[in-house]
Amino acid sequence: MNDLKKIVIPIAGLGTRMLPATKAIPKEMLPIVNKPIIQYIVEEVLEAGFKEIIFVTHSSKSSVENHFDTSFELEAALEKRVKRALLKEIKSISKLNLVIHTIRQGEAKGLGHAILCAKSLVGKEPFGIALPDMVIKSSNKNNLTLMKTAFKKNGCSSILLGKAKKEQISKYGIVKLKKNNLVSKELKIESILEKPSLKKAPSNLFAVGRYIFRNEFMEYLSEIKPDKGGEIQLTEAIDMYLKNDNELLAFRLDGKFYDCGDKLGYLIANIEYAKEDPYLKKEILKYLKNKK
Ligand code: G1P
The predicted-structure confidence for 251-277, as pLDDT tens digits, reads as follows 999 999 999 999 999 999 999 999 999
pLDDT at residue 162 in the model: 96
| Residue scoring higher pLDDT (254 or 82) | 254
Q: Residue type at 111?
A: L
Residue 172 C-alpha to ligand 1 middle, in angstroms?
A: 5
pLDDT at residue 89 in the model: 87
Q: pLDDT tens-digit profile of 42-52? A: 999 999 999 99
Residue 235 main-chain phi, psi, to 5 deg: -60, -40
Ligand 1 atom nearest to 133, measured from its CA: 12
pLDDT at residue 181 in the model: 60
Asked whether 134 lines ligand 1 (CB < 6 A), one says: yes
Q: Is residue 1 part of a domain?
A: no
Q: Predicted confidence band at 24 (pLDDT cuts at 50, 70, 90)?
A: very high
Whether the CB-CB separation of 47 and 54 falls below 8 Å is answered with: no
Q: Is residue 181 part of a domain?
A: yes
Ligand 1 atom nearest to 208, measured from its CA: 6
Residue 183 C-alpha to ligand 1 middle, in angstroms?
A: 32
pLDDT at residue 235 in the model: 97
Q: What is the mean pLDDT of residues 140-155?
A: 94
pLDDT at residue 163 in the model: 95
Q: pLDDT tens-digit profile of 193-232? A: 999 999 999 999 999 999 999 999 999 999 999 999 999 9
CATH label of the domain that carries residue 42 = 3.90.550.10
Q: What is the DSSP string of the chain?
A: -----EEEEE-----GGGTTTTSSS-GGGSEETTEEHHHHHHHHHHHTT--EEEEEE-GGGHHHHHHTS--HHHHHHHHHTT-HHHHHHHHHHHT-SSEEEEEE--S--HHHHHHHHTHHHHTTS-EEEE-TTEEEE-SSS-HHHHHHHHHHHH--EEEEEEEPPGGGGGGSEEEEEPPPPSS----BEEEEEES--TTT-S-SEEEEEEEEE-TTHHHHHHHPPP-TTSPPPHHHHHHHHHHTT--EEEEE--SEEEETTSHHHHHHHHHHHHTT-TTTHHHHHHHHHHH-
Q: Predicted confidence band at 63 (pLDDT cuts at 50, 70, 90)?
A: very high
Q: Predicted confidence band at 41 (pLDDT cuts at 50, 70, 90)?
A: very high
Residue 247 C-alpha to ligand 1 middle, in angstroms?
A: 21
Asked whether 157 lines ligand 1 (CB < 6 A), one says: no
Asked whether 257 lines ligand 1 (CB < 6 A), one says: no
Pair type for strands 99-104 and 52-57: parallel
What average pLDDT does the structure give for the chain?
93
Res 1 pLDDT > 70: no
Asked whether 209 lines ligand 1 (CB < 6 A), one says: yes
Look up the domain containing 200 and give its range: 6-290
CA distance 135 to 157: 21
Mutate-to-test residue for ligand 1 from 133, 193, 266, highest number of ligand atoms within 8 A of CB: 133
Ligand 1 atom nearest to 173, measured from its CA: 9
Ligand 1 atom nearest to 134, measured from its CA: 12
Q: What is the DSSP string of 153-164?
A: HH--EEEEEEEP
Asked whether 111 lines ligand 1 (CB < 6 A), one says: yes
| Residue scoring higher pLDDT (39 or 94) | 39
Asked whether 193 lines ligand 1 (CB < 6 A), one says: no
Asked whether 160 lines ligand 1 (CB < 6 A), one says: no
pLDDT at residue 145 in the model: 96
Tally of domains in the chain: 1
